[in-house]
Amino acid sequence: MSRDDDATNERDASSGPEPSEPDAADPDAARAVVAARSDGEPPDTTEIRELAAAAGYAVVGEVTQRRREDPTYDLGRGKAEELMRLAADAGAEAVIYDGGLSPGQTFSLGDLLPAGTAVIDRPRLVLELFADAADSRAADRQLELARLRYELPRLREAVARDASEDVRLQPEGDSRVLDVEKRIESAERALDEIADDRAARRAERRAAGFDLIALAGYTNAGKSTLARRLADEVDEAGDPVDDNGDPAADVGPLAVADRPFETLSTTTRRATIGDRRTLLTDTVGFLDGLPHESVRSFRATIESVRTADCALLVVDASDDPADLRRKLLASLSAIETTEGHVVPVLSKADEVGSDGLADAVEAYEAAVDGLDPRDAPFVDALRSPIPVSARDGTGLADLADAVADALPTATASVSAPNGGAAQAALSWAYDRGVVASVDYEGETVAVDLAGRPDVVAEAERRLNGAVPPS
């Protein structure tokens, strides 16, 4: 009665007892078998295979199952044994599990598999993917924190297992746990300081008249391609500034590729949108099935989206409705909340044609209709996505209009006695991009101001304070 297939409503979606051809051509790539289980629809392994390939694995087989979760292996026992045989036959170095495994499940599967076969669940695969690429100080710290948080419960599990076999190992295990806890605290402190620096820099950038815009969305949605399009063309991919808003000469062009996690850290470019000077931040894509605390560890991304004056939520129009919905929900649950406006964007419009686009809009609206406002407080802002193609430029003017409308704006008209003081105030306002028009009428200068409310208010104060020339 322990056969998985016997349980009601539980059956194999498909399985691959025969090793399939590797996905990747690289003969040196580590061989991996993919395993996936799902409660409802048959598991779709497309995404986990793409992630595995991006992390450098050659997928040589897969085992999938439709079944409720088994506490020991996640898969049912029979299926887990099939996985063991497949991994052995295929000479797999790793089993890549499409989902999050508990520490206990990870160890139980590891015990079942041939010695030396690594058990890599989805969150760990993503951490591996990021590990090679963490470059900036903040990204390093974020990654370290994410890895430590991932490791801690597994270390606790290992210590508990060792201690149950040999109680003498316990003190050493406890001190390893303590060490990881301390490193987590110190990484958190360091990240808090970096976040404080970023918050201070954001305030400075805003005071300098810049609106802050962030691109957000699922991985591979087309964010970087859109960022390239929107960025000021100082060079090929805009004029890069680092996370703190400083010039970042060492940042290359925005990378674009048809694979997950091409962008692995946030980068910011200057972009003129309508008549607004903005700083546009391209972010790391979100991914379904990452535990929340690990996603939150990629703080710079979440933070730039939440604190932006306007966040562009990029949704791939070329995805089928189920994927579109799944990825939208994953993105929203990572973002949780925003301080500024959200402008939804349906990307890759050129790829789907007009019928396909209508279908994508329908699928998108249906997904938004199904949202619980408690889960996405900005649900109303998600209506009416703007279709764009960063490839052929379609929709970019509409997008610019929508962004300009969404940005906080104040206007004011001021007359000041013309002279050195008024010119100094005017030049201050020009530097911050809030001068809409200037008229010289005899001895006075009449200025229309428009732009960021705080900057407009300060420009108004300076012009009003301009004393007449003596």
Ligand X SMILES: Nc1nc2c(ncn2[C@@H]2O[C@H](COP(=O)(O)OP(=O)(O)OP(=O)(O)O)[C@@H](O)[C@H]2O)c(=O)[nH]1
Q: What is the nearest approach in angstroms of ligand X to the Cβ of residue 226? A: 7
DSSP 11: B
**What is the spatial distance between Cα 426 and Cα 422, in angstroms, rounded to a whole number?**
6
What is the phi-psi region of residue 300: left when phi exceeds 0, alpha when psi lies from -120 to 50, beta otherwise?
alpha
Please work out the total of residues on this chain that contact ligand X, with binding judged by CB under 6 A: 22
Nearer to ligand X by Cβ, of 225 and 304: the residue is 225
Q: Is the dihedral of CA 306, 308, 309, 311 positive or negative?
A: negative
Instruction: Give residues with Cβ within 8 angstroms of 282, minimum separation 6.
Output: 215, 223, 224, 227, 254, 263, 266, 267, 268, 269
For Mg ion, the binding residue among 117, 136, 224, 304 (CB under 5 A) is 224
CA 156 to chain centre: 29
Of the candidate residues 65, 105, 108, 263, the single one contacting Mg ion (CB under 5 A): 263
Rounded least distance, CB 463 to ligand X, Å: 42
Q: Does 268 bind ligand X (CB under 6 A)?
A: no
Residue burial 190-201, b: 16+ Cβ < 10 Å; e: rest: bbeebeeebeeb
State in angstroms the smallest separation of the CB of 133 from ligand X.
11
Residues 381-420 within binding reach of ligand X (CB under 6 A): 389-391
- Please identify the residue of the shown chain whose CB is closest to the bound ligand X: 285
Choice between 87 and 264, CB closer to Mg ion: 264
Q: Scanning residues 439 to 458, which ones bind Mg ion (CB under 5 A)?
A: none
Q: Is 177 in the site for ligand X (CB under 6 A)?
A: no
Query: Pick from ligand X, Mg ion, none: which does 319 bind, CB < 5 to 8 A by kind?
Result: none
**Among residue numbers 107 through 126, which ones bind Mg ion (CB under 5 A)?**
none
**Is 301 a residue that touches Mg ion (CB under 5 A)?**
no
DSSP label at 232? -
Number of residues that bind Mg ion (CB under 5 A): 4
What's the burial of 335, exposed, middle or buried (CB within 10 Å: 0-12/13-18/19+)? buried
The listed partner (Mg ion, ligand X, none) that binds 350, CB under 5 to 8 Å by sort, is ligand X
Q: Cα–Cα distance between 189 and 201 in angstroms, integer?
A: 19
Q: What is the dihedral of CA 75, 78, 81, 82, to 10 degrees?
A: -90
Residue 338 near which of Mg ion, ligand X, none (CB within 5-8 Å, type-dependent)? none
**What is the contact surface with Mg ion in residues (CB under 5 A)?**
223-224, 262-263
